[in-house]
Amino acid sequence: MRSKTDMLRELEAMLHEVFEARARGAEHTRIVRTHGYIDGFMKAMLDAGTVTRQELLEIVARQRGLVYGPATREVEIDEVETAAA
Protein backbone atom coordinates (compact mmCIF):
# COMPACT_ATOMS: atom_id res chain seq x y z
CA MET A 1 0.00 0.00 0.00
CA ARG A 2 1.32 3.44 -0.93
CA SER A 3 1.56 6.32 1.50
CA LYS A 4 -0.68 9.36 1.38
CA THR A 5 2.31 11.45 0.30
CA ASP A 6 2.98 9.14 -2.66
CA MET A 7 -0.65 9.20 -3.74
CA LEU A 8 -0.82 13.00 -3.53
CA ARG A 9 2.38 13.32 -5.57
CA GLU A 10 0.91 11.03 -8.23
CA LEU A 11 -2.33 13.01 -8.25
CA GLU A 12 -0.45 16.29 -8.63
CA ALA A 13 1.55 14.86 -11.53
CA MET A 14 -1.59 13.59 -13.29
CA LEU A 15 -3.39 16.89 -12.81
CA HIS A 16 -0.43 18.88 -14.07
CA GLU A 17 -0.14 16.61 -17.10
CA VAL A 18 -3.82 16.95 -18.03
CA PHE A 19 -3.81 20.74 -17.59
CA GLU A 20 -0.67 20.97 -19.73
CA ALA A 21 -2.23 18.73 -22.38
CA ARG A 22 -5.36 20.86 -22.48
CA ALA A 23 -3.29 24.05 -22.74
CA ARG A 24 -1.35 22.54 -25.67
CA GLY A 25 -4.61 21.58 -27.40
CA ALA A 26 -4.22 17.82 -27.03
CA GLU A 27 -6.78 15.42 -28.43
CA HIS A 28 -10.11 15.72 -26.60
CA THR A 29 -10.59 11.96 -26.11
CA ARG A 30 -7.19 11.70 -24.38
CA ILE A 31 -8.03 14.57 -22.04
CA VAL A 32 -11.47 13.14 -21.20
CA ARG A 33 -10.02 9.69 -20.53
CA THR A 34 -7.37 11.16 -18.24
CA HIS A 35 -9.98 13.24 -16.40
CA GLY A 36 -11.98 10.06 -15.80
CA TYR A 37 -8.95 8.32 -14.36
CA ILE A 38 -8.18 11.31 -12.12
CA ASP A 39 -11.80 11.50 -10.93
CA GLY A 40 -11.75 7.82 -10.01
CA PHE A 41 -8.43 8.20 -8.23
CA MET A 42 -9.74 11.14 -6.18
CA LYS A 43 -12.99 9.32 -5.36
CA ALA A 44 -11.07 6.28 -4.14
CA MET A 45 -8.93 8.50 -1.92
CA LEU A 46 -12.05 10.20 -0.52
CA ASP A 47 -13.86 6.89 0.04
CA ALA A 48 -10.84 5.47 1.85
CA GLY A 49 -10.65 8.55 4.08
CA THR A 50 -7.14 9.29 2.86
CA VAL A 51 -7.90 12.92 1.96
CA THR A 52 -10.59 15.49 2.54
CA ARG A 53 -12.56 17.32 -0.11
CA GLN A 54 -10.79 20.55 0.87
CA GLU A 55 -7.35 18.98 0.37
CA LEU A 56 -8.34 17.85 -3.12
CA LEU A 57 -9.73 21.27 -4.01
CA GLU A 58 -6.48 22.89 -2.92
CA ILE A 59 -4.37 20.46 -4.96
CA VAL A 60 -6.48 20.97 -8.10
CA ALA A 61 -6.40 24.76 -7.68
CA ARG A 62 -2.63 24.77 -7.17
CA GLN A 63 -1.96 22.62 -10.25
CA ARG A 64 -4.39 24.61 -12.38
CA GLY A 65 -2.69 27.81 -11.24
CA LEU A 66 0.73 26.49 -12.23
CA VAL A 67 -0.46 25.97 -15.80
CA TYR A 68 -3.04 28.72 -16.35
CA GLY A 69 -1.91 31.33 -13.86
CA PRO A 70 -3.76 32.64 -10.82
CA ALA A 71 -7.52 32.73 -10.65
CA THR A 72 -9.15 36.08 -11.29
CA ARG A 73 -10.98 35.85 -7.97
CA GLU A 74 -11.63 33.39 -5.19
CA VAL A 75 -15.03 31.69 -5.19
CA GLU A 76 -16.63 30.33 -2.04
CA ILE A 77 -18.16 26.84 -2.19
CA ASP A 78 -21.59 28.28 -1.29
CA GLU A 79 -21.45 30.53 -4.37
CA VAL A 80 -20.74 27.57 -6.64
CA GLU A 81 -23.52 25.44 -5.18
CA THR A 82 -26.00 28.34 -5.45
CA ALA A 83 -25.01 29.01 -9.07
CA ALA A 84 -25.43 25.33 -9.95
CA ALA A 85 -28.94 25.16 -8.55
| Stronger pLDDT, 36 or 1, i.e. the higher one | 36
Range of the domain at 79: 4-84
Task: Enter the pTM of the model.
Answer: 0.75
* Average pLDDT for 58-80: 80
Task: Compute the C-alpha angle 57/59/51, nearest 5°.
Answer: 70
Total domains in the chain come to 1
* Average pLDDT for 6-10: 95
Q: What whole-number distance in Å separates Cα of residue 49 and Cα of residue 68?
A: 30
* Per-residue confidence band for 85, with pLDDT thresholds at 50, 70 and 90: low
* Average pLDDT for 23-48: 92
* Average pLDDT for 50-76: 87
